[in-house]
C-alpha cells in the first residue's frame, strides 16, 4: 500500500530541504516523526506536515480498499526535494546599481509504503 504526498512551492531552498530529507529517508514513520520533532532545521516542519499527509493518504486508501493498516508498519520509501520556481527580486546597491536576489522554492515529495 503505497501512498504519496506532495507539498509544492515551499518557500525554502532545495539545498537546505535536502539535508532533512536525507535524515528521514528509509526510516519508519514513528522514527521519522521523532527525528523531525527534535530537529533544529526549519525544513523539518514542512517535512513533518507532508509526512502526516502521506500517512493519512495511506490510511484512507487502505480503508477504501477494505484493508487494515497500522501506522507502525509504514516506512518512508522515498523522500525527495525538487526545485520550484525562483522568485527574482532586486536590491539597491551603491551608485544607482541593483543586484539580484533569488528566493528559491521547493517541491517536497514523501512516499510511504508498508513494510514487508
Give the CATH number, domain containing residue 7: 3.90.470.10
pLDDT of 75 over the 90 cut: yes
Share of the chain above pLDDT 90, in %: 96
What is the domain count for the chain?
A: 1
Q: What confidence score (pLDDT) does residue 1 get? A: 81
Cβ-count burial 60-78 (b if 16+ within 10 Å, e if not):
eebeeeeeebeeebbbbbe
For the residues 60-83, what does the mean pLDDT come to?
A: 94
Please compute, for residue 62, the number of CA atoms within 13 A of its CA located in the half-sphere on the CB side. 20
Domain that holds residue 47: 3-114
Residue 2 pLDDT level (bands cut at 50, 70, 90): very high
pTM listed for this prediction: 0.91
Amino acid at each position: 500500500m503505497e501512498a504519496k504526498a506532495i507539498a509544492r512551492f515551499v518557500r525554502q531552498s532545495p539545498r537546505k530541504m535536502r539535508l532533512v530529507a536525507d535524515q528521514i529517508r528509509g526510516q519508519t514513520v514513528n522514527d521519522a516523526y521523532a527525528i523531525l520533532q527534535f530537529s533544529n532545521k526549519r525544513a523539518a516542519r514542512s517535512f513533518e506536515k507532508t509526512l502526516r499527509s502521506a500517512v493519512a493518504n495511506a490510511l484512507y486508501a487502505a480503508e477504501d480498499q477494505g484493508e487494515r493498516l497500522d501506522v507502525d508498519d509504514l516506512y518512508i520509501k522515498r523522500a525527495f526535494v525538487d526545485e520550484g520556481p525562483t522568485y527574482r527580486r532586486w536590491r539597491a546597491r551603491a551608485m544607482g546599481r541593483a543586484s539580484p536576489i533569488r528566493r528559491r522554492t521547493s517541491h517536497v515529495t514523501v512516499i510511504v509504503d508498508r513494510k514487508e
